[in-house]
Amino acid sequence: MWLQNERNRLLSQTGLDKRNSDLAPSDVKPENSPGVRRPLHFIIDLGCQLWPQFDCGFAALRSVPGKGPCLGAAPIKRLPQRMALVFPSRLLTLAGMELSQGLRKVQERVAQACRRAGRQASEVTLVAVTKGQPPEVVRAAAGLGLDIFGENKVQEAKAKIPLCLARLRWHMIGHLQTNKARDAVHFFEMIQSIDSLRLAEEVNRCAEKAGRTMPILLEVNVAGEASKFGYRPETLLAEFDRLNGLRRLEIHGLMTMAPWTPDPEKVRPVFRRLRELKAECEARLGAPLEHLSMGMSSDFEVAIEEGATIVRVGTAIFGERHRSAPAASGG
C-alpha cells in the first residue's frame, strides 16, 4: 500500500497523472541531467499491456546511458502512462522500513505461538510468499535474512527467479498444471502442491529427465471446498502407496489451505485433521514425514499450535498486494 500511495503522491506532484498519452523516452531525464544525483527509477504498473507476461505489482526501470529507459537490459521505446519518477534511495528507504517492520512482527507472532505450544521457533520454517512482488522486493527481503520464498504461478516465477540472488530457495505453493511440471522441476527446490496421482507421475517423469529427485508435499483439501485444489483425505490414503512408489519423488509431508475466516479458531479443526492425516500416512510409510505446511497470514499461529512446520506468509510481511487476486496457497 505504501508503494501505491507514494506513486500517487509523486504523480500528482509532477503532473504526470494529468497526461492522457504514454510517456516518450524524451520525458525521462538522463542520469547526468542537472540536479539528478542518482539514477532515476520508475515504478511501473506491470498489469499494463506493455508487459502482459507479468501478473504482479511493480518493477523498477532505470535510465541507461546510450539506451534510455530500460527494463533489465532491454530498451523501452514507450513508457506506460501510469508511472512515477522516484529516487531509489527514497523508494528503498520506504520499502525497507515497512518490510522490516512486517517481518519483525511475523517473527514475534511465530515465537509467541511456539511458546504457547511448547515448541521452539526454530522448528517452524517461514516461507515468504512473493506473488505479485518484484525482484527488488525479494532482494530486500533476502537482505533481512529471509531465504525461502513461495510462488503461486510458474510463469511469474520463471520471470522473477533469474533476477534474484542465486542462493535463495524457492517453493511452488500454487496449483500446478501438468504442462508446467518441467519448469517447476527446473526452478523450484520443493513443490508443495501435488494434488493428484496424474500430476505426481508427470513431475516424476520430468524429474527423471532432469536427473534429479524432487522433494514434494501432498496438498490436501481438508475442508472439502469446491473452490480449492487438493486431495480428498480418503483419496490420498487410497493412492499413497502408488505415490510413494514414484522413485524420483520424495514425499516430505502434507500441505493444506484452510478456509478464510476472521476467526482463526474456526479453522483449528482443519489443521488438526491434517496432523492426524500425516500420522496415518506415516503408519503406511513406516517412517516419519518431516513437514506439515499449513497456516497463512491470518491463521498461522493456530497452525503452529497444531503442529505446522512450514507457514506460508505474504501479506503480513509485504503488505496488501497492489492488485486483487484469486485465493492462493499462501498469503
User: Does the pLDDT value for residue 201 go beyond 60?
Assistant: yes
pLDDT value of residue 95: 56
pLDDT value of residue 271: 98
pLDDT value of residue 8: 57
User: Does the pLDDT value for residue 319 go beyond 70?
Assistant: yes
Mean pLDDT of 311-319: 95
Mean pLDDT of 283-307: 97
Cell of 70: 530500460
Confidence of residue 197 (pLDDT cuts 50, 70, 90): very high
pLDDT value of residue 136: 85
pTM of the predicted protein model: 0.73
Residue 125 half-sphere exposure, CB side, CA atoms within 13 Å? Answer: 16
CA dist 145 and 198 (Å) reads: 37
Mean pLDDT of the chain: 79
Confidence of residue 76 (pLDDT cuts 50, 70, 90): very low
User: Does the pLDDT value for residue 251 go beyond 80?
Assistant: yes
User: Does the pLDDT value for residue 2 go beyond 50?
Assistant: no
Q: What is the CATH number of domain 92-318?
A: 3.20.20.10
Q: List phi, psi (to 5°) of 266.
A: -70, -20
Q: List phi, psi (to 5°) of 162.
A: -65, -20
Confidence of residue 14 (pLDDT cuts 50, 70, 90): very low
Confidence of residue 98 (pLDDT cuts 50, 70, 90): confident
pLDDT value of residue 252: 98
User: Does the pLDDT value for residue 321 go beyond 90?
Assistant: no
Domain boundaries, the chain: 2-86, 92-318
CA dist 78 and 24 (Å) reads: 5
Mean pLDDT of 176-203: 98
With b meaning 16 or more CB within 10 Å and e meaning fewer, what string describes 268-300? bebbbbbeebbeebeeeeeeebebbbbbbbbbb
CA dist 319 and 331 (Å) reads: 10
pLDDT value of residue 117: 98
